[in-house]
Amino acid sequence: MIVLRKVLVATDFEAASDAALVYGRALARKFGASLHLLHVAENQFLRPIPSDPATVKAAQLRALNDRLTAEDRADLHASAVIEVSDDTAETIVTYARTEQIDLIVLGTHGRSGVSQLLVGSVAELVVRLAPCPVLTVRHPEREFIVPDAEERRDVHDSPQEHPGCH
């Protein structure tokens, strides 16, 4: 039996991460788990940036909190966390270990070839290092459509209605 008590969604605010949040939210809801939303911000120490680091961090926290609904906070005990680091994958893995996360969900950009080699893949490193299962979601993701209750009542599964399918 699969038991999920804590689901972590790591985000970089890109479309693939938003798709991962959809999956993470649904899985947390289905299993009655809490939802953790984590953004790993680049360490700006000793690096020239055009704006105040505190302002940048506040904007990132606002963007992170905007992705969580009131329902997420109430039903899933959702929390938004920003960690500052030069090693995104290691920070995600450390957070998962420290918080005893049961499942990590993250988006992947689907890079391959030279781009993958030069840029690297946070998702790949997390999969290799994580202390728990990792679900990667590529954008655009495959949609899993579940019929609602009314549609299910209209579906008949007798062998006579589906010849050759039994």
- pTM over 0.85, yes/no: no
d(CA 110, CA 16): 9
Q: Is 25 a residue whose pLDDT tops 80?
A: yes
Cα–Cα nearest to 44, from 35, 55, 31 = 55
Contact 36, 72 (CB under 8 A): no
Contact 101, 6 (CB under 8 A): yes
| pLDDT of amino acid 62 | 93
Mean pLDDT of the chain: 82
Position 39 pLDDT exceeds 50: yes
Mean pLDDT of the region 15-40? 95
* 6 strand-pairing partners: 34
According to DSSP, residue 5 is labeled S
Average pLDDT over residues 52-76: 90
Percent of all residues in the chain with a pLDDT value above 70, rounded to a whole number? 73
The answer on pLDDT for 108 being more than 80 is: yes
Q: Does domain 6-154 have CATH number 3.40.605.10?
A: no
Residue with tokens 């699969």: 2
Angle at 152 between CA 147 and CA 158, to 5 degrees: 130
Query: Is a pLDDT exceeding 80 seen at residue 99?
Result: yes
